[in-house]
Structure 1
Amino acid sequence: MRRRLIQSTLAVVLVVIAVFGVSLVIVETRTISSTAQERVDSEAVRLASIVDSRLIATGAVTAEMLRDQVPEDRYAVIRVPGERPIAIGTKPDGDTIKATRKGEEGETVTVQEPRSTVTREVGRTLLIIGAVALLAVIAAVLLALRQASRLASPLTDLAETAERLGSGDPRPRHKRYGVQELDRVADVLDASAERIARMLTAERRLAADASHQLRTPLTALSMRLEEITLTDDPDTVKEEATIALTQVERLTDVVERLLTNSRDPRTGSAVTFDLDEVIQQQLAEWRPAYRSVGRAIVSSGKRHLEAVGTPGAVAQVLAALIENSLMHGGGTVALRTRVTGNQAVIEVTDEGPGVPADLGARIFERAISGRNSTGIGLAVARDLAEADGGRLEMLQASPPVFGLFLSRTPARPSRDATPTVR
């Protein structure tokens, strides 16, 4: 591209020089020739006037009288009737520019100038025009190099940016070049890079959330299957199998919920459900894990509360809090239900040391953990709660108390809301 720009610019300049240069040479040559002829004519008129004045004054004209009146580069011949011609100067060889004038006393004056003087002047003019043309070509080449560099370098940068995007590096460069069209391409590439970065972040987040959120149902399912393998009682096998099937359904719900939230976190399937059922389900799932470490998990508070949300999401939030207490807490874990205003609240507390002071409100940030855990459980739990229109808060740091707030009545749809078509 750089070579093409230089060649095209140089071609345009050469065409312009050829068209205007040839025209200028022709015009200047004619002007110089015309000026030389006018100069010789003027010289002949002047010399004829001098001869007339001499003839009137003295009645005779000699070469000595007129020698100082004729320039050295000219040749003049004066013919007076009845006398010999008077020649002044050196007669030029070759082609000449000649002018003849007749005086009032009957004399004839002829002035000649060598055409070589015109040729020399035309040569000087051509040399000047050639020098100007050469300077124009040099300036055009320099300008073409600058323009080629200004256009080719940004295009090279944009090509490298596109290649980086294709190779999986979505970092935008935010580099502009002062050319509107190139800056527009750079804007589009940067916007694409940001979209790709968001998509990659969402995919990584989905993978991290899935690995964390599926771990709990899979652990519970594994425990139920172990119970089945360790017993020969058909009733126990049936009971454990039923619970295992419930775990599978919950596992399926978790996967669907994660996929739904990854596409649109605001999408939900909120319904009115009984909190007691969700809490009892969690107690049944987690009691074996707590018994294995010599701890207990209990529930208390107001019964038969109904809340609005997604049962599977609420179960996941409670599972995250219960697992958090199992890993980081101590003593008995208690799930307490109460009512505040138009909200049902489920509090999860234990008898452990609580949340370290250096964590504080950052406990819900991703990658924040008090021990060697993933640090995304509470963050995912808060996202699930907010997707259902509720909220998850840390009500007390020591002993730790986490509160899940859920609405008790369905939210009224706005009159101006536009239904979403999927």
Structure 2
Amino acid sequence: MRRRLLRSIVMVIMVTVIALGLPLGVVSWRLVDDLVHSNITSQLEAINASLNAQQFTDGAMDLRSVSVSVPPGWRLEYERGGVGQAVGAEPLAVSVSDAVTSISNGKLTLYSPVDRLRREQFLALGLVALAVLASIVVGVGVALITSRRLTHPLSDLADRAARLGSGDFRTFKRRYQIAELDRVAEVLDSAAGDISTVLQRERDLASEISHQLRTRLTGLQLRLEELAEYPDDVVRADVSAALEQTDRLVNIVNDLLANARSQRAASAAEISLSTALEQVRTEWVTVYAAAGRTLTVICPPQIVVKATAVRLREALGVLLDNALMHGAGAVRVTVKQGEPLVLLEVADEGDGVGEKLAGHIFDRGISGADSSGLGLALARAFIEADGGRLELRRARPPVFGMFLVRADPDDSAPSGSVPNGSAPSVFAPHSIGAPGGSPRIPPPWDAPTRFC
């Protein structure tokens, strides 16, 4: 769009320059010609007045007496009755001239070299061309500024709309001092808040329904299993049939929940984790440097995960922003390989999370500092939407673990999923706030690493 807008503005400028520049050039050419002729005429009239005064006094006309009035390179001729005289330069092949009639009815003609006229005409055309060029430069500059002022906000709004479509419902206070674009930004912010509220209500409702349904089904199964011990064969047969129907209902509920999770992850694609982390590092390393902090990103080569790039970048941005605002010391982002998931950890050297807050750190509206308490909840929602999981693996010093579904570069199908919303057993358990260093890492984590 920016290119089309710039092309349109430049085309309008060129049309305007052609429509105004050509007539201005013609007018300048003729104006210089008129000025040169006017100059010749004024000088010739002065010479004629001097000769007329001389003839009135002496009764004769001698052009030598006015030769000093003839500019160098010019020629003055007088002709009467086939007899003439001249002073000045040799006869000019091409010249500009003007003539008057003297008091003696003779013809007095003054010649000027045409080179002088052409030189001044081309100088005028050069000034016109310079003005045209300056107009083009100024117009292109204005076009660049205008296109940038329009396209950057539009690109920003498009990115915000894309983030909204990917599940990022944060609002932005940025405005662009353009009424129409500011209105679009306000509508996007309002839509983000409304959609976030509706989706959260639906998720809470679905979670509550699934929890209550599972609880009731589990109680029903236990009760039926007790009745299955009844000595009457008819009763046992009926109870067995009821248990079979209950098991089928449990499987249906589980399948519906699994299908909902798979639909949320449908937008996930295979992305290079090292490339995504390099983009994040480039974005945040200067921010950390300005704060006097260091950011280190370490990842094994050639890891491909199933995720949405925007969601992954936003979720990791939330963790890095938390580490910058509420943490301390150096921040390390490390990637460790496993099957079927990849573990991405973000750790800093700060005080971490208190015991009372640790169990609710991902709840909406819960924050240990002066913040909205939405960041970590959104980050977890982003990762879960792609079939992953975000956990607080250690409270002090804090270590956040992001479990991502690993994808085989030769296979477009996901290589695994998160059962029941939790990390698989391949990752060594590490309780929140437990003493010790890093979790126990099985042999697959020993792959060579590199700095992104």
Q: Please report the TM-score for the alignment, with normalisation by the length of structure 2.
A: 0.48
1:320-399 correspondence to structure 2 within 5 Å: none
Aligned to 1:71: 71
Match of 2:27 in 1: 27
CA distance in 2, matches of 1:221, 1:7: 72
Higher mean alpha-carbon deviation, 34-43 vs 135-144, is at 34-43
Q: Answer yes or no: is the 8 Å Cα contact 1:48–1:109 preserved in 2.
A: yes
**Could you give the per-residue CA deviations for residues 124-180 of structure 1, whole angstroms, max 9, x where no partner exists?**
011011111111111222222222222222222222222222222222334322222
- Cα pair 1:81 1:106 within 8 Å, conserved: no
Show the 5 A alignment for 1:4-83: 4-79=4-79
Matched with 1:166 is 165
Deviation at residue 76 of structure 1 after TM alignment = 0.7
Percent identical among aligned pairs is 34
Q: Which residue of 1 aligns with 2:341?
A: none
Q: Which amino acid aligns with 2:92?
A: D
| Secondary structure of residue in 2 paired with 1:97 | strand
1:144 matches 2:143: yes
Counterpart residue type for residue 205 of structure 2:
L
Secondary structure, counterpart of 1:85 in structure 2: strand
Are residues 367 and 37 of structure 1, via their aligned partners in 2, closer, same or farther at CA, if it must alter by over 3 Å?
A: closer
Equivalent runs, 1:302-313 vs 2, <5 Å:
none
Q: Following the alignment from structure 2 to structure 1, what is the Cα–Cα distance between the partners of residues 153 and 179?
A: 12
**Counterpart residue identity of residue 202, structure 1:** R
The 1:94–1:225 alpha-carbon spacing in structure 2 relative to 1, beyond 3 Å, is same
In structure 2, how many angstroms separate the alpha carbons of the residues matched to 1:156 and 1:76?
Answer: 73
* TM alignment of 1:400-419, pairs within 5 A: none
Q: CA deviation at 1:213?
A: 4.0
CA gap 1:195/1:96 in 2 versus in 1, 3 angstroms? same
Residue 89 in structure 1 maps to residue 96 in structure 2: no
Per the alignment, residue 102 of structure 1 pairs with: 101
The 2-side partners of 1:366 and 1:208 are apart by 15
- The alpha carbon displacement at 1:231 in A equals 4.7
Q: What are the within-5 Å matches in structure 2 for residues 166-245 of structure 1?
A: 166-214=165-213, 217-218=216-217, 221-222=220-221, 224-232=223-231
Cα gap change, 1:76 to 1:187, in 2 (>3 Å): same
Give the CA deviation at 1:232. 4.9
For residue 211 of structure 1, report the CA deviation from its aligned partner.
4.4
SS at match of 2:32: helix
Write out the 4+ residue segments of structure 1 that deviate beyond 6 Å after TM superposition: 365-368
Alignment-derived partner of residue 117 in structure 2: 118
Structure 1 counterpart of 2:144, which letter?
Answer: L
Radius of gyration: which is bigger? 1
The offset of 1:216, in angstroms, is 5.8
* Alpha carbons of structure 1 residues 86 and 206: separation in structure 2 relative to 1, 3 Å: same
Letter in 1 for 2:172: R
- Assess if the C-alpha contact under 8 Å between 1:70 and 1:89 holds in 2: yes
CA contact (8 A) 1:98 1:111 kept: yes
Q: Distance in 2 between matches of 1:144 and 1:166?
A: 32
Q: Which residue of 2 aligns with 1:283?
A: none
Q: Partner of 1:163: helix, strand, or coil?
A: helix
Matches within 5 A, 1:212-291: 212-214=211-213, 217-218=216-217, 221-222=220-221, 224-232=223-231
Offset of residue 200 of structure 1: 1.8
Q: Distance in 2 between matches of 1:91 and 1:4?
A: 61
Give the gaps of 5 or more residues in structure 2: 247-355, 358-362, 367-452
Q: Is the 8 A contact 1:48 1:108 kept in 2?
A: no
2:166 pairs with 1:155 = no
- Matches of 1:106 and 1:157 in 2, distance apart? 84
Distance 1:164 1:367, change over 3 A: closer
Residue 223 of structure 1, CA deviation: 5.5
1:238-293 CA distance string (max 9 Å, x none): xxx9xx9xxx9xxxxxxxxxxxxxxxxxxxxxxxxxxxxxxxxxxxxxxxxxxxxx
Q: Which residue of 2 aligns with 1:377?
A: none
Amino acid paired to 1:41: T
Whether the 8 Å CA contact 2:169–2:195 is kept in 1: the answer is: yes
Is contact 2:74–2:89 with CA below 8 Å preserved after alignment?
A: yes
Deviation, 1:220, is: 5.1
Closer, same or farther: CA 161–3 of 1 in aligned 2, 3 Å: same
Q: Which amino acid aligns with 1:30?
A: R
- Alpha-carbon separation, structure 1, partners of 2:230 and 2:29: 120
What letter is aligned with 1:126? Answer: L
Residue 99 of structure 2 aligns to a residue whose secondary structure is: strand
SS at the partner of 1:78? Answer: strand
Residue 87 of structure 1, CA deviation = 1.3
| AA in 1 matched with 2:70 | V
Answer yes or no: is the 8 Å Cα contact 2:51–2:63 preserved in 1: no
Shift of 1:227: 4.9
Contact kept, 8 Å, 2:32 with 2:124, in 1: the verdict is: no
Cα distance in 1, alignment partners of residues 365 and 110 from structure 2: 107
Question: Partners of 1:6 and 1:12 in 2: how far apart?
Answer: 10
Using the alignment, how far apart are the partners of 2:12 and 2:57 within structure 1? 67
2:126 corresponding residue in structure 1? 127
Question: How large is the RMSD of aligned CA atoms in angstroms?
Answer: 3.7
How far apart are the structure 2 equivalents of 1:232 and 1:72?
141
Q: Flag the 1:92–1:190 CA change in 2: closer, same or farther, 3 A.
A: farther
- The answer to whether the Cα contact below 8 Å between 1:92 and 1:114 also exists between their aligned partners in 2 is no
AA at the equivalent of 1:4: R
Deviation at 1:4, TM superposition (A): 1.6
For the residues of structure 1 that align with 2:204 and 2:91, how far apart are their CA atoms?
Answer: 101
User: Counterparts of 2:117 and 2:61 in 1: how far apart (Å)?
Assistant: 31
Q: Please state how far the C-alpha of 1:81 moved relative to its aligned partner.
A: 6.8
Aligned length in residues: 249
Residue 195 of structure 1, CA deviation: 1.9
